[in-house]
Amino acid sequence: MLYQSTRNKNLTATGPEAILRGIAPDGGLYMIPDFSQISLDWTSLLDLDTIPMAAKILQAILPDFSPEEMEELSKKAYCGKFESEDLTPLAKVGNRYVLELFRGPTSAFKDVALSMLPQLMTASKEKTGMKEEIVILTATSGDTGKAALEGFHDVEGIRIIVFFPNNGVSAVQKAQMVTQSGKNVLVAAINGNFDDAQTGVKKTFAAAADADLKGIELSSANSINIGRLAPQVVYYFKAYADLVREKTIAVGDEVSFVVPTGNFGDILAGYFAKKLGLPVKKLICASNENKVLTDFLEKGLYDRKRPFYKTTSPSMDILVSSNLERLLFMAADGDSDLVGGLMKQLNEQGSYQIPAAMLQKIQSEFGAGFCDDVKTAAYIAKVWKDYGYLMDTHTAVGWAVSEEYVKDATEPVIVLSTASPFKFPHAVLSALGETPAADEFDCLEQLAAVSNLPIPKNLAGLKGAKVLHETVIEKDDLVEFALTQAKKFQ
């Protein structure tokens, strides 16, 4: 099976090539041309433990890897790295389920994919015979940076440089990154915001062509990379298997998922699961006040020309959702000219409108809703009071959006939980009506005392950890800094 660019069906790549490149040469995203090319007997997976299940699903999506290879890679990625071997536990909370994706090494759902991506990249290098040293450039608003550092530290043949906005991440997130050990990692704060970091990284990719980087290949670890999307398909099957095991549903019954969404990667992985056969009734896209996706799914008009809000669910503060491009490609039955045209309009005019037939098709499978910070806080408090279950702010956005839907649903509804409440202790304490301590590290202990829950180990050790990265650069110096550092690895 060859992957193809969403913007040009003639630009193809094998799975390993797509993983190494991250993005297609025309700026499109690598995509499975047609799901009927993938054969997966999904019902036979339901009895498996999570890690072998992951291997089978990943091998179906990336058939260049043999079943034995994928089994090996999955074990290396996950064994002993999560709080439990089932990786992503399902909790029953009131009349719905919460899929806990945050039990990995950095307490955010990005661990599921970023534990696997380094394994896939290393194996892809071997398969393609690539000799270059890979340098991964990552701009982060907080969660991706740490999860990527944790995944890639000390991986042979790969280096990683992370840029974060100096005043744009929480104290906990900053401490997580600047204390990262590993001989192949570099972390730099920039005097600027997340968009400045992101723009700088994109400019570095463009400048690399003229910058004599012989022996170096730049790559990306965010969810435009198909190797990051594929591992996320697994937990949709895993949640379904749990419900079958506990006899809540029979094989073949439908379920629905509510997904707190930013870049549209997580929810798209759910759609992949559906395309591979999983009986999914609706995928419900939950946004915070930056509700560009809610509006799009209601009207078919994507318009990024709008105010940007800083919310209490910062990992979803985003106005250009990269992975939506892959959904458009699927809804357009692989018409890459149409998708390329829409993306051109987005770049040039800041908006596009999709044809009515395409919108109908998308609406038959996706729902959408949004929730502001006040409501988010109210649901954190309500769910804690009613059920004794503590949610983080992102999960609470999902819960809030599920409220309306659940009233009429006859199928089980699963809300995806994307971060530990201890990752956002300040906002969670405020939601519970407490006065958060001034120091965020004290908030961790305060939240543990209020909730009687343990602080995740990776966060508990942060306060006294040694700072290893003190570099701060001006936003306009990012490109030169990144290229100079990359050349050192030649």
Ligand X SMILES: *Cc1c(COP(=O)(O)O)cnc(C)c1O
User: Is the Cβ of residue 102 or residue 441 nearer to ligand X in the bound state?
Assistant: 102
Return d(Cα 229, Cα 267) in angstroms, integer: 10
Residues 302-341 that bind ligand X (CB under 6 A): 315-316
**Is residue 16 at the binding interface for ligand X, with CB under 6 A as the rule?**
no
Return d(Cα 327, Cα 61) in angstroms, integer: 17
- Piece of 10-18, 24-32, 256-264, 348-356 that binds ligand X (CB under 6 A): 256-264
Beta bridge partners of 280: 255
Angle between helices 67-78 and 110-128 (to 10 degrees): 140
- Piece of 209-217, 263-271, 332-340, 478-486 that binds ligand X (CB under 6 A): 263-271
- CB 173, min distance to ligand X, A: 10
**Is residue 261 at the binding interface for ligand X, with CB under 6 A as the rule?**
yes
Binding mask 400-439 for ligand X (x = CB under 6 A): ------------------xx--------------------
Q: What's the Cα-to-Cα distance from 117 to each of 113, 152, 228, 284, rounded to whole Å?
A: 6, 8, 6, 26
- Piece of 104-112, 155-163, 200-208, 270-278 that binds ligand X (CB under 6 A): 104-112
Looking at 364-477, list the stretches that DSSP marks H as alpha helix, in order from N- to C-terminal side.
373-387, 393-408, 425-431, 440-451, 457-460
Q: Which of 488, 469, 439, 408 is nearest to 153 (CA)?
A: 469
User: Is the Cβ of residue 173 or residue 204 nearer to ligand X in the bound state?
Assistant: 173
Q: What is the 3-state secondary structure (H, E, C) of 250-309?
A: CCCCCEEEEEECCCCHHHHHHHHHHHCCCCEEEEEEEECCCCHHHHHHHHCEEECCCCCC
CB contact set of 92 (below 8 Å; sequence gap of 6+): none
**Is residue 143 at the binding interface for ligand X, with CB under 6 A as the rule?**
yes
**Number of CB atoms found within 10 A of residue 75's CB:** 15
**Is residue 40 at the binding interface for ligand X, with CB under 6 A as the rule?**
no
Q: Which of 138, 179, 223, 288 touches ligand X (CB under 6 A)?
A: 223
Cα angle, residue 97 at apex, residues 241 and 419 outer, rounded to 5°:
100
- Piece of 19-27, 183-191, 209-217, 254-262 that binds ligand X (CB under 6 A): 254-262
- CB 10, min distance to ligand X, A: 28
Q: Which of 28, 145, 165, 260 touches ligand X (CB under 6 A)?
A: 260
Residues forming the active site: 110
Q: Which of 108, 186, 197, 278 touches ligand X (CB under 6 A)?
A: 108
Binding site for ligand X (CB under 6 A): 108-110, 143, 223, 260-266, 315-316, 394, 418-419
